[in-house]
Amino acid sequence: MAIVSVTLKPLPAGHAAEFDARGYRCTRVYNVISDAPLTDWPFAIRDAAGLPRVGDLFPGNAFMRVRRVVPKPAGVGADGGAFDVEVHYDTQTDVRGLTTNFAGGTPSAGDTYFVEDPLSRPAQLSWDFEPIQIAKVRATLVSDDDGATWQSANAYLNTAGQTFDPPLTDELYVLVGTLTRNEATYNAALARQYIGAVNSDVWLGLSPRTVKLARWTAQRLYESSVWYWQHTYVIQIHPLIWDDIVLNQGLAYIDSGEGNVLKVARDLDDFAHGQPVNLDANGAIIPAAVPPSPAHYRRFRDQARELPFDVLNIA
């Protein structure tokens, strides 16, 4: 037995194609002629020289590959036969190999195999805005109830120069990006190190300490003979910066006149203050009549939580 010829059938009978949101699919039909009856015809036809194999690229397209090869008898006689072979191409096909084990069961170590590879799927990305509750600390203007006259202000304080109890709160909207992708492994130590971390340098054009890794989950899955991890990363992009800014206040102050001794703040009746008093940069009391300036705020940052985000490869 020998294959006499392998010929691509011309348009239109031998061609079909589909285009939609899931990708491209195309079917080409080849005519294969043999010179003798084939007792093992499906495999003999499949191995015919010049016939595309599973995993081969579509000519001129780097993304469509052969997903299935379907031989069909088209007239078999004593002197040989003709076969129509449907070759199905698909952009959704992810090829890891082509099996050489046709006896069934698990392929041996020397066999390769064909599966849809979940590790080759593109990542999924979504964006949203998420409100977070914050205490109101900074202010720019203050007025009486009528709103007729506005004066400069740098903090939310009452007319006695004290903070409100409970403090006023507001919603801060942060941009949230969620990326889901399949990966071969999961590094628990790296995840533990980065969860809650902020970017230490410019990342995707965003300033340092404006991006936080708020969530990182991983689920182990099995599909098409492949074990893999489905990772979900959630980042929060702060409109300003992920530093902690508070008004410089306390129930005690530093008395520079008595050798920088720490004293409890007392009122005119020599009672301990029930509320914090405003402090300057040296820890001295700022009189209630003097509004605090921006220099009287304290900004805190934890350098240990500042890490390079390029390591995560989630851009």
Assigned domain for 64 exists: yes
For range 112-124, the mean pLDDT: 72
CA distance 313 to 211: 14
CA distance 65 to 121: 15
81-102: pLDDT as tens digits: 888 999 999 887 555 554 444 4
Assigned domain for 298 exists: no
Long-range contacts of 308-314 (CB under 8 A, 24+ apart): 308/199, 308/200, 308/201, 308/203, 309/199, 309/200, 309/203, 309/211, 309/213, 310/203, 311/190, 311/194, 312/194, 312/213, 312/233, 314/179, 314/233, 314/235
Do residues 15 and 158 share a domain? Answer: no
Assigned domain for 299 exists: no
Do residues 15 and 161 share a domain? Answer: no
Assigned domain for 296 exists: no
Do residues 203 and 98 share a domain? Answer: no
What pLDDT is recorded for position 101?
A: 46
Do residues 206 and 70 share a domain? Answer: no
Give Cβ neighbours of residue 229 (< 8 Å, ≥ 6 apart).
Answer: 182, 183, 184, 185, 186, 218, 219, 220, 221
What pLDDT is recorded for position 232?
A: 97
Do residues 84 and 213 share a domain? Answer: no
What pLDDT is recorded for position 110?
A: 46
What pLDDT is recorded for position 11?
A: 74
Between 34 and 15, residue with greater pLDDT = 34
Do residues 235 and 259 share a domain? Answer: no
User: To which H or E segment does residue 189 belong?
Assistant: helix 188-194
Beta strand residue intervals within the chain, DSSP E = 3-8, 15-20, 23-34, 65-77, 80-90, 124-135, 141-143, 150-152, 169-183, 198-199, 211-223, 226-237, 244-247, 249-250, 252-255, 261-264, 277-278, 297-300, 306-307
Between 167 and 308, residue with greater pLDDT = 308
Do residues 169 and 308 share a domain? Answer: yes
The last residue of one of the domains, among 116, 138, 170, is 116
pLDDT band at 179 (very low <50, low <70, confident <90, very high): very high
The last residue of one of the domains, among 116, 145, 172, is 116
Between 30 and 268, residue with greater pLDDT = 30
The last residue of one of the domains, among 65, 92, 116, is 116
For range 8-17, the mean pLDDT: 77
Do residues 19 and 107 share a domain? Answer: yes
What pLDDT is recorded for position 214?
A: 96
For range 247-257, the mean pLDDT: 85
- Indicate the range of 28-37, 87-96, 126-135, 304-313 predicted with least confidence: 87-96
Between 289 and 215, residue with greater pLDDT = 215
Between 10 and 194, residue with greater pLDDT = 194
What pLDDT is recorded for position 234?
A: 97
Assigned domain for 297 exists: no
Which residue range forms the structural domain that includes residue 94?
Answer: 3-116
For range 209-228, the mean pLDDT: 92
- Indicate the range of 9-13, 40-44, 136-140, 164-168 predicted with least confidence: 9-13
Assigned domain for 130 exists: yes
pLDDT band at 1 (very low <50, low <70, confident <90, very high): low
For range 204-217, the mean pLDDT: 95
Assigned domain for 10 exists: yes
Is the pLDDT at 77 greater than 70? The verdict is no
Do residues 218 and 71 share a domain? Answer: no
pLDDT band at 107 (very low <50, low <70, confident <90, very high): very low
Between 298 and 269, residue with greater pLDDT = 298
What pLDDT is recorded for position 100?
A: 46
Do residues 71 and 215 share a domain? Answer: no
119-157: pLDDT as tens digits: 888 899 999 999 988 888 888 888 988 888 998 888 888
Do residues 36 and 55 share a domain? Answer: yes
What pLDDT is recorded for position 14?
A: 66
Do residues 60 and 150 share a domain? Answer: no
Query: What rounded mean pLDDT belongs to the chain?
Result: 83
Q: Based on the structure, what is the number of domains in the chain?
A: 3
